[in-house]
């Protein structure tokens, strides 16, 4: 019995090992995101590792992180700058209509509704764009389109991830303050790790099965797997 408990291949220790990897990823993500402009590459590298963890494709965490960081740096940085610019524009619009246009009016209501629609699209794309960059080969434009296409096609899964992330933060802030220590310890990679369980289920639908031809849905994405990377 004791040999089973201390067997590092049993599910319990494998689970603990994955969370240790998540802690390592948090340190790497923070350090590599300090210049801000590199946050896209570091986020992509985090998802590259967490997607493998969820699939039980363990490998050297640090080496895998930096390999993905290097190989995806240029394209992930471009995607990040696009998302950062779009997010900044949305933030300015929200500030304008809430802080400057304080008087209630039909225009203010309509514009806030439009803002809400664009914000939802932004969040949907944001949830999948970096995992897609980590998993598939595509140009920037195609990766952004695929993120929108897949998030809308699997809207229930995508919204579920958004709500899960929000509820976890709210629980840490308002319900269980002890969770704040865990969020500090695991940081963003914890969210990426939890989201990866959902994302893997989505991506599996686009991975070609043995014997399938060009009519496989993956062809719609013009993507090739990064399984060997």
Whole-number pLDDT of residue 201: 93
Q: Specify whether the backbone of 107 is left (phi greater than 0), alpha (psi in -120 to 50) or beta.
A: alpha
Q: Is the per-residue pLDDT at 47 higher than 90?
A: yes
Tens digits of residue pLDDT in 2-37: 444 455 566 666 777 788 999 999 999 999 999 999
The proportion of the chain whose per-residue pLDDT surpasses 90, expressed as a percent, equals 58
Residues 6+ apart with CB under 8 A from 206: 150, 216, 217, 218, 221, 223
Whole-number pLDDT of residue 11: 63
Q: Is the per-residue pLDDT at 212 higher than 90?
A: no
In this prediction the pTM is 0.85
Distances (CA, A) of 66 to 6, 49, 70, 82, 188: 31, 10, 6, 23, 17
Whole-number pLDDT of residue 101: 66
Lowest-pLDDT range of 106-120, 155-169, 188-202: 106-120
Higher pLDDT pick, 208 / 49: 49
Q: Is the per-residue pLDDT at 125 higher than 80?
A: yes
Q: Is the per-residue pLDDT at 102 higher than 70?
A: no
- Annotate 102-127 with b (16+ C-beta within 10 A) or e (fewer): eeeeeeeeebeeebeeeeeebbbbbb
Structure tokens at 102: 């304080």
Structure tokens at 90: 């949305």
Average pLDDT over residues 96-116: 76
pLDDT band at 175 (very low <50, low <70, confident <90, very high): confident
Rounded to a whole number of angstroms, the CA Rg of the chain reads: 20
């Amino acid at each position: 019995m004791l040999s089973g408990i201390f067997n590092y291949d049993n599910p319990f220790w494998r689970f603990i090992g994955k969370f240790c990897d998540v802690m390592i990823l948090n340190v790497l993500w923070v350090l590599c995101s300090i210049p801000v402009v590199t946050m896209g590459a570091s986020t992509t590298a985090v998802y590259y590792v967490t997607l493998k963890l969820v699939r039980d494709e363990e490998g050297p965490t640090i080496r895998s992180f930096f390999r993905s960081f290097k190989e995806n740096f240029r394209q992930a940085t471009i995607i990040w700058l696009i998302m950062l610019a779009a997010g900044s524009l949305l933030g300015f619009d929200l500030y304008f209509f809430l802080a400057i246009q304080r008087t209630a009016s039909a225009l203010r209501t309509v514009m806030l509704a439009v803002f809400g629609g664009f914000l939802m699209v932004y969040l949907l794309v944001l949830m999948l764009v970096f995992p897609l960059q980590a998993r598939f080969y595509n140009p920037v434009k195609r990766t952004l389109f695929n993120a929108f296409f897949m998030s809308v096609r699997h809207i229930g899964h995508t919204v579920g991830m958004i709500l899960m992330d929000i509820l976890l933060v709210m629980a840490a802030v308002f319900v269980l303050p002890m969770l704040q220590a865990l969020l500090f310890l695991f940081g963003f990679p914890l969210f990426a790790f939890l989201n990866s369980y959902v994302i893997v289920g989505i991506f599996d639908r686009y991975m070609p099965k043995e014997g399938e031809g060009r009519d496989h849905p993956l062809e719609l994405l013009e993507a090739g797997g990064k399984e060997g990377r």
